[in-house]
Amino acid sequence: MIRERSSGGAGPLRLVDGSADGWGLGPLGICNYDGPETIRARKYATGTHVLLREVGVETGATPREVVWSRNKARLYRYRGGGGRAGRRRPVPVLLIYGFVLKPYVLDLVPGNSLVEYLVGEGFDVYMLDFGVSGAGDARLSLEDFVLDYMHGAVRKVVETSGAKEVSLFGQSQGGTLCAMYASLFPEGPIKNLVLLSAPTEFVPRDPGLLGLWTFASRNGGALFDPAVVPRFLGNLPTGFASSLINAAASLQAAAVGTVARAGGFGLYDAVLREVRDLAGRDVSLRSWLAVSKWVDDAAPFPGETFRQWVKDFYQRDMLVKGRVELRGRRVDLSNIRCSVLNASGKWDYVVPASQTGATTILAGSRDKESVSLDAGHVGMLVGPGAADLWPRVGDWLAPRSGR
């Protein structure tokens, strides 16, 4: 398979020959239909977890600086050369990810990075990283994330960039937070809202095959009270299982390496060097290693936020009903006035498309568009299909971002 960059050198790799659904590495490659569990299954089935311990991979490589912080949260501004031909977009882009897995999936590896693409297209790009919650953060709530962290970040983007308006780009949980923020501040400074796999209707009446699991949420309150998490655990240790697996992987990698080196006459190290060199040359292998690292790089779910997320969203579906209140302010999605691009994946079982459509329907914007992608939760963002998605997002943002 031949890969080449789009003109200007800053865009994603474009497939010239080969499958549109994969990058030609069989199980050692991301496909468009991938979600976290399919990646995790292949990671351990192929021994990639052992390979990662020996080879490693650099993620989040786009140059950046911290321009604002609050508690564990950090606001990054990415440095670039002004895009192709020195082009600069007047409206900056603020990327918001969730608070369970790490946000570097948005800046995965050089050659497969949404951040790198947007910077190359002349956008002034920022990312809010909520950080890793510790024991003292169990009481962090949606109010804190939306009204303090996000609001502080938006104001800092306006101040740092000198712009009067901002484009919010939210993925998954981060997209839900972005929709809430845009509804609470309809008078600005949010100019554009880009949502990717962002749920707002958590228990839709017609969930589709990939969303059948949401039926359990409707009666979940009788079986599970999410308040037990902040009460007894503090934070939900979402990374606990991954930590145990990663520890076992380290022991396994050490054992395999010791045995192989003892009887392999240098063959094991030669193979590792070849894999390392190939990863340096081949963005598909580099991406596979990076996403295999990311899928088990979890952060604790703040206890109070978990309680709200499960009880108010999954068990009561209060967001789409306009019944969520943050510090006495009602979150009404019909108050969204900015331009909206709402993208979902047909094969996304983490956030089925049926959970995302209400945003487009309810938003009071005159300029709103829905996009349905033939992809899964992770594949649409960093799989081969990203070569189509990113320019689509860029082309939508460009005329709405000034020059």
Q: What is the DSSP string of 273-331?
A: HHHHHHHHH-HHHHHHHHHHHHTT-B--B-HHHHHHIIIIIIIT-TTTTT-EEETTEEE
Residue-level pLDDT, tens digit, the chain, 403 residues: 223 333 333 444 433 333 344 455 667 889 999 999 999 999 988 888 888 888 889 999 999 999 999 999 999 999 976 556 567 899 999 999 988 889 999 999 999 999 999 999 999 999 999 999 988 999 999 999 999 999 999 999 999 999 999 999 999 999 999 999 999 999 989 999 999 999 999 998 888 777 777 777 666 665 788 898 888 788 887 655 555 555 665 565 565 556 555 655 566 677 777 777 777 788 999 999 999 999 999 889 999 999 999 999 999 999 999 999 999 999 999 999 999 999 999 999 999 999 999 999 999 999 999 999 999 999 999 999 898 899 999 999 999 998 5
Q: Which of 356, 61, 91 is nearest to 208 (CA)?
A: 356
Q: Return the pLDDT at 7.
A: 34
Q: Which of 125, 135, 129 is nearest to 101 (CA)?
A: 129
Distance CA 346, CA 379 (A): 11
Just give the CATH number of 64-227+300-400. 3.40.50.1820
Contact 369, 396 (CB under 8 A): yes
What is residue 40's three-state secondary structure?
A: helix
Distance CA 16, CA 368 (A): 32
Q: Return the pLDDT at 348.
A: 96
Q: Return the pLDDT at 8.
A: 38
Q: Which of 331, 337, 344, 346 is nearest to 368 (CA)?
A: 337
What is residue 128's three-state secondary structure?
A: strand
**Packing angle, helices 267-281 and 240-263, rounded to 10:** 130
Distance CA 224, CA 311 (A): 9
Q: Return the pLDDT at 84.
A: 61
Q: What are the Cα distances from residue 18, in Å, to 2, 3, 21, 24?
A: 8, 10, 9, 7
Q: What are the Cα distances from residue 351, in Å, to 79, 199, 325?
A: 32, 6, 23
Q: Strand 329-331 vs strand 324-326: parallel, antiparallel, or unpaired?
A: antiparallel
Largest CA distance in the chain: 69
* Delimiting residues of CATH 3.40.50.1820 domain(s) in the chain: 64-227+300-400
- Tell me whether the omega of the peptide bond preceding residue 189 falls within 30 degrees of 0, making it cis: yes
Contact 335, 186 (CB under 8 A): yes
Q: Residue type for 206, please?
A: D
Distance CA 363, CA 358 (A): 8
In this structure, the number of other CB atoms found within 10 A of the CB of residue 185 comes to 20
